[in-house]
Structure 1
Amino acid sequence: MALSPDISALADAALSTEPVTASSGNLAKQTTQNAYFDADIISDIDSEASATASVVSGSVAEAISDRLPTTVTPTHYDIYLHPDIDSGIVTGSVTIDAIINEPTSVITLHAKAITIDKVMLRKSDRQEQQLCTTDAHAIEYTEHMETATIHLRAELPPSNVQIVIDFTNRLSESMYGMYRSKYKDRGGRWASMIVTQFQAKCARMAFPCWDEPAIKAEFSLAITVPASHTALSNMPVQRTTPGTTAAKSTPGLSRESNTCDKGTLKTVYFARSPRMSTYLLAIVSGELDFVEGVSMSGPLRANGKHSPVACRVYTAAADVDKVQFSLDTTLRVLERLVDMFGVAYPLPKLDLVAVPELEAGGMENWGLVLFRTVRLFITKRTSLWIRQKAVYVIVHELSHQWFGNLVTMAWWDDLWLNEGFATWIGIHITDQMYPEWKRWCHFAIEDRQAALSADSLRSSHAIQVAIKGTADIDQVFDSITYYKGCALIRMLSAHLGIDAFMAGVRHYLAAHQYDTATTQDLWLALESASGEQVSAMMHSWTTQVGYPMIAVDIDFDAGFMLLRQNRYLHSGDCSPEEDCVVWWVPLALASSTTGTQPANVKNKTMQSREARMPVPGGSAAAWVKLNCSNIGLYRVCYSPGALVRLAAAITRSELGAVDVIGILNDTVALVVSGYMRTSVLLDMIDTFQAASEHIVWQIIGSFLERMYLTWAEQDEPARLQICELSRSLFGPKAVSLGWISRAGDGPLDARLRAVSIPKAGWAGHPAVVEQACCLFSEFYAQPKAKWFEHDFTSTVFEIAVRSGPPANYRCVRDMYEHSERWRLSEDHRMAALCAMACSTDKTQILGTLEYVLTDSVLPQDMHIVFGCMATSDHCSKHVLWRWFCQNYQRVVDRLGDCSTLLGHVVSTVIGDYATEHMAALIERWFADKPTAAFDRTLPQSLEFIRVRAAWYTRDQSDVRQWFEKRSRPGAMPWPGSLAEGAAAAMATAMAMSKASEAGESSCCK
């Protein structure tokens, strides 16, 4: 568009040439020693990406706001980049078509660690004459805002302009911005590929831009790379020219480099993208090979059928035989998503790339989706669990192509719109494709519990979280955003019905495509499709911290029950001021007379503090279950008789796996919080001796491990007794089931075997330990033989190091470093690394910690090793903590700018302590450290430590008495004990409610 006539008069005065004093100096020359940057959780979270942020003190982080002014907004970027892989220097130019929305004398945009060499402002019509140019003296950098401000000599009126910027930066030393990732080239030599990671705010590290999700624009890209490389971006390659380029997009600003021979280089031009956010732009360049297929998921043709979309999975050439499963999964998933969303895949191609070094498990860049290698390398030797996670992560990232990329949250306070929904649909579609995997059971055991645990802390945050400052953006990529968000979507979709829910989602996508949206926009679309008042139902769930506990007092003779909701805190001491929210709660009632089939469940809701309602099936019901299928996001505290009846029903296998998970996980949480005594749960465990459901044993094993880590430091006799209890429970099952599947085994046998052997080995069962060490020795000596099933690789490795001869430590390190000899899959190579962390020898522990800081271990894997070490043995975490304190700066330097990874490391190192002494010591140690990068995770970890410390203090005598009774000759569990303990639980819950009503402090001890 032509500029308005007014701007012509400013042709000689558009940009200032007077020096401007920069507030922080040239960003490219700033020291980075005190800068840390945020990044999966997730976890593997599959967990996804976050972004960089300079560390500032907590008070500064709260005070600043890094939103850009809206006086100028971009519509199109024409970018040229020339990264020199050897030197790390990047030269580049960008022409930005922009709209001046209101008169201004400055243009402020994001630029981090970038040197702006020249700026030219001109009319938007490229055929017109330039208005004027300027040098770098008119640029003011603001480091904590990560911005560059161009000072104009005169005010510009509203108009259309082109901003042409010539700049230099460096390839990032972290896994953010544009960086190098090591891989083996076609000749088997180590080489570097170029990779970008721009979420959440790292595009500003690669080129000057408006780096906020709502400021969408179109992108054209050209990049100069080695001639042997395959260059990829969001859009297809348009053309390729040999040698370097003089940056056609920026006439007058030649950026031709003299650092390389033109004959070894090429410049690749990519097609223009649709409107999208800067964090979704992506580049990969390396010696890559691929497998390809076609998905019928493109725009509809005249015949009503979808047009083809080319799909490829890229990886280093040596690994191309490992990604066929991932391609097949992609083709299946893409067509399912098109059918669910009712919108064709928006781009002409879809590429997936296996990246050796990636901060998160996957990143959803539009049309160029990146994954850690372990998520795409799936072979016959890959364990079932890793295969399951691979399918889930592929679905999760591909769903973002619509929900997040086509329609993007307006700001990071609505990040849960992207991640909560993608987590839900990732599990939903995986469960449809592979129902035998029971993915919702896994979600209930792990992910849902992670969300409930984090959200039961005072240091938690609401799903729609206020972003306080730069570092805060990165920290909301957590279990609340992903897993609480997923749980709420699941709860709402179940209440509305999947058909009505997806109809609302389709309306939402159609109404906001190529634009941004908010949580309220989704609620309005769902209200239109369902006729329900979704906004009112969900308001407290998304805007308030926490969730309720429903106390249930059941009169089975009368056939009625009294329900009361109060906020649940892990500390068990919720005050009246903290208990002011009344949630909309879907109850999903079932009983022995109705059964738990969805068609028979009573879908009642609770919208008041207290409610009285009939028992489903009346007085004939033998048991009652709330939150059937475990879909509601709350905990249930049952009355004494109700809990005893449910325990009996679990033993008789009358409840489905998901319902068993809900009962047991709630009971565990209530025990740790003080609403029940620990002996109540220990009695339940004894009554479950005959239970065959593997889910029961998985939760029991995890509880005993948690109890061991809590009691071990302070109570030597109890520590030994907990191990003995674990051996007595899991050892006989492990020995009976054996290590190899047998012809007569049913599916439950395989799952129970997969639970029993690792738990028995952890507890030191002699037969299991001896067999694992024997299998390990045979495998190490003869790697081509199949000595055990692939799902037991991690178990065999860890037991062999923890309980076997010292030489096994050197053996697993050998396996990690030379995995080809043992034909280890990517996940089993990681198992070898983690096994090194399971040694109980202090010299070997310290050796592993030093090894983690070498180039042999990727920074993205550091916290995984620390996690194995902290939980492997009750003494190891003390060695880890002392080493961490002495080597903190080395850890920070090794992680580079990845402060989210630093947050993971911190929470992993300290997270398994259980004494007030350690909480205070950790608090003091971090007092003078810059913690803005993990100022959410640190308080949460400290709160968890204090919760466990209070648990031990409160129940140490109760546990001691339980073990004394159990050790008496002929002692067996008795129902009266369970009922007595459950009665105490109900009394506790009701006392809390009464104290809340009376305005008194509710301390349930």
Structure 2
Amino acid sequence: MILFLSVLLALSGFNVFFICFNAQLLSRNVVPEHYDLVFKPNFENIDYDGFAKISVIIHNKSDHITLHSRNILILKAILRQSKDEYNTTITYNYSAEKVNFNFHKFVSGACDLTIHFIGYLNASFNGFTRVFYTRHKLYGAMTNMHQEEARRVFPCFDEPAMKATFNISVIVPNQMTTLSNMPIVTIEACEKNNSLKKVSFAKTPKMSTYLVAIVVGYYESFKRTSLDGKVVITMYTLQGREKQVAFALDVAVRVLDFLQKQLKIAYHLPKIDFVPIENFTIEGMENWGLITIVAEHLLVDETTSYIIKRIIVDVIAHEFAHQWFGNLVTPEWWSHYWLNEGLANFISTICQYSLFPQWEEADTTLARVVSPAFNKDSFESTHPIIFDYKGRSDRNSLYDEITYKKSEAILLMIANLIGYDKFFKALFLYLTRHKFGNVKSNDLLASFDELSGKSIGEVMKQWLYQKGYPLISVYFKTNCSLSISQHKTRTKARLCVRLTQRKFKMSKYLTNKEKKIKWNIPVTYFDVKTSANKSIWFSQKIIFIDTPNQIILNYDGSGYYRTRYSRSMYNTLYKLLRRNLLNAKTRFVLQNDFFALVKAGFLSTTDYLRFLTAYKGEEDLSVWKSVDESFEEIDLILSNTKLQINFRTGVRRFLKEAFRKYGLRKVNEEKDWISVIRTIIFKRLGLFGEKTVVSEANEQFQIYINSYEELDANLRHAIFCTLAANSNDIQFKALIMVKFL
């Protein structure tokens, strides 16, 4: 592409210089105020014509303007100031993805830089992408400008802090639906070609370049008005799937109403569109006013499972939350990207349980959020939530479990620490104080400090800037004539609880540097004898709690740390589990921590499997998911060994009681999440060769292929996994020939 551009520019007679500077932020001497953009996609040539007029302010006199640009051929650029007009010399810095416009005269103040350029429609879902509609065998196009991709679409100040307003127009064939961030203001027939139309959109609010969006395609639309009557919500769909967006549209209306009431700040645009994108490589993109989303996350019919419905609600709520967290208030730089994703995730979880309170009974936050964060954060390859983002090579770190999951877990810890009422008041302060502007992490932390009256920010910086997390070890100590956590001193020896902290790693051995690391940990614990819930700050390597009783740390799962107990304490916990005296979150934390300690070499697999027998009567979805994941990991380690046979036999024995309880078929009026537990048990027994389950899977599959009677939506995945694991060659070929959603 670089060679292509070089040749074209040379043939065009332009002065081209290939220079190389260090990749760095653009100078703040020149800042954008407004963009006028016109795009004319050509689907046959897989390219587009583009015109940009960028209104800028030059603070101190300069003879050049530098913009971001990648894989764009600039045909001509002119600088205008009042009645003066200057041609420009164009120089490219390909490694830095920048282009320099030199106008050979020093000017300052308000100017307009007008650029005519050509870009290409790629197939990568980055920048301006050509989209193929499989059913209709037609092409459309969409933009996805997140993370330094706007520069692929038009020359611009492609940094989140360099906000501006936008007027966008698109020239397309008459029959195509055309969308952008704002509502359409005019549709004009093109003078030179009656088959084309120019669609122009209203001026956007001040926003970052990565939020600019265009979609061109063939869609049907279904509209609703928000409950306050101020926002038009439109669900777009491909022809033939009109009935399948009713659920998503209803959810979108309810989500908007919840967010406006919960955040106490109105949505700032007059409309919001949801557009399905076939084969989209990400779940969704929060473009302001125009959310693009993977097609399957908008479609629901009678065959859609409970778990898929939850995913749809989660994605819609997450992208909607970004309209405030990310769009209205935007990080100054990508190092603070967790302010977008952590807050959107956190708000999405709250939203789901408000709209569907029956789902909270099967709260999966610990399994869905905290456990994946722990898993990523336990290895050397992890990184802090806030890190020095240098450019494209660091992009993967922005889309991992640390940015999305750990940040949500830390926010959960803060909310439990200061209370949810103060937490949301702090968010209101954060949003109103910085709306249409840019922020750093300290801005959010300052709001927490202000509303809570505590130095939350100073404590939480450690959790944001330091990678990894702590392991707290809990032991009884018989001689407690020491300072204990309540800062009293006793001279008489007595029983107490001793806590120590260290960094948790999958390799349990620490370097000398790691041995010195410590956290200021807000610890919650439950006193088993008194049933009291208590909280302490644990900031030293060792502290003592003045109680002779069994305690359970992190009983509510709100702390971002793991806990290891002494053998005698584990024996007591085992008895409490057998008697079903512990709540679901406590049961999850104990099981999940125990298995993590096994993987890290602190405890044995045998001890874990014995401990797990206390969970035979388990009824919580999150616990079942975590237990099943542990079975999968152990089985993988034992692959192709004699021990694997014994292990699978033991697991089948462990699961049989639950299998009898939950059965093979959905019972009328049972709660939705019960079907997911049934699926987990069915799938694991099927993968491990339980004959009854394999026979049932074969029977249901035969009915399906012979009569096309739909499989149970919730069991469908488990049935196919069971058949794949236990089929012969002929059966497997029949299986892969079946098309299913």
Q: Is the 8 A contact 2:35 2:55 kept in 1?
A: yes
Q: 1:111 to 1:234 in 2, by over 3 A?
A: same
Paired position in structure 2 for 1:653 = 580
| Map of 2:659 onto structure 1 | 734
Report deviation, 1:685.
2.2
Spell out the pairing of 1:612-761 with structure 2 (5 A cutoff). Answer: 612-615=544-547, 619=548, 621=549, 623-693=550-620, 695-712=622-639, 716-731=641-656, 733-734=658-659, 737-743=662-668, 750-761=675-686
Q: Check 1:556–1:745 CA distance in 2 against 1; reply closer, same or farther (3 A cut).
A: farther
CA–CA distance in structure 2, aligned partners of residues 535 and 425 of structure 1: 20
Give the structure 2 partner of residue 568 of structure 1.
504
1:118 aligned residue: 76
Q: In the aligned structure 2, how far is the partner of 1:733 from the partner of 1:688? A: 10
Q: Would you say the 8 A contact 1:200–1:474 is kept in 2?
A: no
Match of residue 402, structure 1, among 316, 324, 329: 324
In 1, are the aligned partners of 2:679 and 2:718 still within 8 Å (CA)? Answer: no
Distance in structure 2 (CA, Å) of the matches to 1:129 and 1:612: 77
User: Does the CA-based 8 Å contact 1:182-1:357 persist in structure 2?
Assistant: no
- Does the alignment pair 1:365 with 2:287? yes
Corresponding letter in the other structure for 2:166: F
Checking the alignment, whether the CA contact within 8 Å between 2:676 and 2:714 is kept in structure 1 is no
Residue type of the alignment partner of 2:109: S
- 2:44 is matched with 86
Aligned counterparts of 1:747 and 1:467: Cα–Cα separation in 2 = 42
**Structure 2 residue identity aligned to 1:449:** S
CA distance in 2 between partners of 1:744 and 1:218 (Å): 52
What residue is the counterpart of 1:287 in the other structure?
218
Equivalent residue in structure 2 for 1:22, among 18, 25, 41: 18
User: SS at 2:411's partner residue?
Assistant: helix
Q: Give the aligned partner of residue 204 of structure 1.
A: 151
What secondary structure, in the 3-state scheme, does the structure 2 residue paired with 1:334 have? helix
Determine the C-alpha separation between the residues in 2 that align with 1:744 and 1:178. Answer: 48
Report the Cα distance in structure 2 between the residues aligned to 1:780 and 1:807, rounded to whole angstroms.
14
Among residues 241, 245, 255, which one is paired with 2:188 in the alignment? 241
Query: Deviations for 1:866-885, whole angstroms, at most 9, x for unmatched residues?
Result: xxxxxxxxxxxxxxxxxxxx
Q: Are the counterparts in 2 of residues 455 and 547 from structure 1 also a CA contact under 8 Å? A: yes
SS of the equivalent of 2:156 reads coil
1:320-469 matches, cutoff 5 A: 320-438=242-360, 441-469=363-391
Q: CA deviation at 1:562?
A: 0.9
Greater fraction strand: 2
Deviates more, 1:408-417 or 1:797-806: 797-806
CA separation in 2, counterparts of 1:172 and 1:697? 43
**What is the TM-score when the length of structure 2 is the normalising length?**
0.92
Contact 1:730 1:760 in 2 (8 A): yes
Query: What's the secondary structure of 1:98's corresponding residue?
Result: strand
Q: 1:18 to 1:705 in 2, by over 3 A?
A: closer
Identity of aligned residues (%): 28
Of 677, 680, 699, the residue aligned with 1:774 is 699
Instruction: Give the one of 147, 160, 169 matched to 2:119.
Output: 169
Q: Residues of 2 paired with 1:509 and 1:690: CA distance?
A: 46
Instruction: Indicate whether 1:789 and 2:712 are aligned.
Output: yes
| Equivalent position of 2:133 in the other structure | 183
In structure 2, the CA distance between the partners of 1:748 and 1:263, relative to structure 1 (3 Å rule), is closer
Q: Does 1:534 align with 2:456?
A: yes
How many residues are matched? 715
**Which of 129, 134, 140 does residue 83 from structure 2 map onto?**
129
Q: What is the CA distance between 1:447 and its match in structure 2?
A: 2.7
Structure 2 letter corresponding to 1:614: D
Whose helix proportion is higher, 1 or 2? Answer: 1
The 1:291–1:749 alpha-carbon spacing in structure 2 relative to 1, beyond 3 Å, is: closer
Which blocks of at least 5 consecutive residues in structure 2 are unaligned?
1-12, 480-493
1:152 paired residue number: 103
Distance 1:439 1:97, change over 3 A: farther
Preserved contact between residue 735 and residue 767 of structure 1 (Cα < 8 Å)? no
**By how many angstroms is 1:690 displaced?**
4.5
Counterpart among 90, 100, 106 of residue 58 in structure 2:
100
Please state whether the residue corresponding to 1:318 is helix, strand or coil.
coil
Q: How far 1:474 sits from its partner (Å)? A: 4.2
Change (3 A) 1:180 1:749: closer
Matched, 1:227 2:185: no
8 A Cα contact 1:694 1:755, kept in partner? no
CA distance in 1, matches of 2:674, 2:167: 56
What's the CA shift for 1:64?
5.4
Partner residue, 2:94: 143
Aligned residue in 2 for 1:905: none
Query: Cα offset for 1:422?
Result: 0.7
Distance 1:737 1:498 in 2: 36
Separation in structure 2 between the aligned mates of residue 228 and residue 559 of structure 1, nearest angstrom: 80
Distance 1:331 1:496 in 2: 31
Instruction: Describe the SS at the equivalent of 2:231.
Output: strand
Kept after mapping to 1: 8 A contact 2:167/2:203? yes
Deviation at 1:148, TM superposition (A): 0.8
Q: CA RMSD in A?
A: 2.2
Cα distance change of structure 1 residues 700 and 556 upon mapping to structure 2, 3 Å threshold: farther
Cα displacement string for residues 307-337 of structure 1 (whole angstroms, at most 9, x for unaligned residues)? 5211111111221211111111111111111
Alpha-carbon distance between aligned partners in 1 of 2:730 and 2:620, rounded to the nearest angstrom: 38
Q: Could you tell me whether the CA contact under 8 Å between 2:131 and 2:141 is conserved in 1?
A: yes
3-state secondary structure, aligned to 2:721: helix
- How far, CA to CA, are the matches of 1:757 and 1:799 in structure 2? 8
**Which residue matches 2:484?**
none
Q: What amino acid sits opposite 2:647 in the alignment?
A: I
Aligned partner of 1:452: which letter?
F
**Structure 1 pair 605–320 and aligned structure 2 pair: CA distance change class (3 A):** same
Partner amino acid, structure 1, of 2:163: K
C-alpha deviation, 1:406, in angstroms? 0.3
Q: Separation in 1 of the partners of 2:143 and 2:683?
A: 39
Matched residue SS, 1:308: coil
Give 3-state SS (helix, strand or coil) of 1:500's partner: helix
Question: Equivalent residue for 2:197?
Answer: 266
AA matched with 1:312: T
Whole-angstrom distance in 1 between the partners of 2:679 and 2:398: 34
1:948 aligns with: none
SS of 1:552's partner is strand
8 Å CA contact 2:448–2:457 kept in 1: the answer is: no
Residues 580 and 64 (structure 1), Cα distance of their counterparts in 2 relative to 1, 3 Å cut: farther
Q: Aligned-pair distance for 1:18?
A: 7.8
Shift of 1:458: 1.7
Q: CA deviation at 1:155?
A: 2.7
Q: Distance in 2 between matches of 1:66 and 1:323?
A: 44
Q: What displacement does 1:373 show?
A: 1.2
CA distance in 1, matches of 2:680, 2:239: 37
What TM-score do the two structures reach when normalised by structure 1? 0.69
In structure 2, give the amino acid aligned to 1:495.
Answer: L
1:223 Cα deviation from its structure 2 partner: 0.3
> 1:840-866: CA deviations, max 9, x gaps?
xxxxxxxxxxxxxxxxxxxxxxxxxxx
In the TM superposition, what is the alpha-carbon distance from 1:436 to its structure 2 partner?
2.8
Gaps of 5+ in 1: 1-16, 25-62, 245-255, 257-261, 298-306, 817-827, 830-1005
CA deviation map 1:519-540 (0-9, x unaligned):
1011111111110101211011
Structure 1 residues 474, 804: closer, same or farther in 2, change over 3 A? closer
- String of CA shifts for 1:275-294, please: whole Å, max 9, x gaps: 00000010111111111111
Q: Is the 8 A contact 1:730 1:757 kept in 2?
A: no
Following superposition, the deviation at residue 652 of structure 1 comes to 1.9
